[in-house]
């Protein structure tokens, strides 16, 4: 058995139930996806789009990387390991787990996150100081909650989707803007052969002075 066949066999065994990460997180040259993103902080609403393309895979120091370029120009590098799908800003970095193994209900992992909605979308945050220090980490506790969800988005209806749920919280430094904590909840749905089709994320301050919600939905995909 050559190295490539061995890798495929190991990944299939880790995923379980005959499903591999490539079923739910396909990585391939010229795979394009386009999303619509609706954001709201209190009464402030914004509608955005996100587009990315998977570039040609490359092998660096014996590890296969799958670069993904986003419309704003940034490139992220994905790879597979025994832990799951890992993403990093540069090859060789430890990175964060995007999808944990094995692919079955109950699998759990942690990943580093950031404040995505609050402090960037609402006029109250413009030019103000950050809620947390630049070196402060926010960790999300994630788990696979379902392998059989039905999801309908602008791109169509997808069955047998994997749903990932997560929560996290962070203490705000010196009661910035009069709050103590920010609580984060997130749900993601992945469809076989497509990848991410929907994401819902909420960020809520405690006391509940600010609440932000993000809904990301797939509108077009071209494998």
By the 8 A CB rule, do 30 and 109 touch? Answer: no
Q: How far apart are the first and last CA of the chain?
A: 29
CATH number of 3-222: 2.40.360
For the segment 16-61, what is each residue's pLDDT rounded down to a tens digit? 333 455 589 988 788 999 999 999 988 888 899 999 999 999 999 9
From the centroid of its chain, how far is CA 38? 16
Q: How far apart are CA 64 and CA 48, in angstroms?
A: 32
For the segment 173-221, what is each residue's pLDDT rounded down to a tens digit? 766 667 788 899 999 999 999 999 999 999 998 888 889 999 999 999 9
User: pTM for the full model?
Assistant: 0.85
Buried b / exposed e along 180-213 (16+ C-beta atoms within 10 A): eebebbbebbbbbebbbbbbebbbbbeeeebebb
By the 8 A CB rule, do 49 and 34 touch? Answer: yes
Structure tokens at 158: 């997808």
């Amino acid at each position: 058995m050559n190295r490539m066949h061995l890798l495929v066999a190991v990944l299939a065994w880790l995923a379980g139930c005959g499903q591999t990460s490539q079923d739910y997180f396909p990585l391939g040259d010229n795979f394009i996806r386009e999303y619509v993103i609706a954001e709201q902080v209190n009464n402030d609403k914004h509608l955005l789009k996100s587009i990315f393309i998977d570039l040609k895979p490359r092998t660096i120091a014996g590890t296969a990387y799958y670069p993904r370029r986003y419309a704003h120009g940034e490139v992220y590098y994905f790879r597979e390991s025994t832990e799951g799908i890992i993403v990093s800003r540069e090859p060789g970095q430890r990175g964060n787990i995007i999808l944990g193994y094995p692919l079955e209900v109950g699998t759990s992992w942690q990943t580093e996150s950031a404040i995505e909605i609050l402090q960037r979308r609402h006029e109250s945050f413009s030019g103000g100081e950050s809620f947390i220090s630049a070196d402060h980490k926010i960790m999300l506790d994630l788990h696979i909650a379902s392998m059989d969800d039905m999801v309908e988005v602008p791109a169509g209806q997808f069955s047998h989707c994997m749903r990932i749920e997560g929560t996290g919280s962070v203490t705000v430094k010196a009661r910035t803007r009069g709050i103590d904590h920010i609580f984060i909840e997130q749900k993601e749905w992945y469809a076989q052969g497509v990848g991410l089709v929907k994401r819902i994320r909420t960020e809520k301050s405690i006391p509940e002075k600010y609440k932000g919600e993000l809904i990301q939905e797939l509108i077009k995909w071209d494998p």
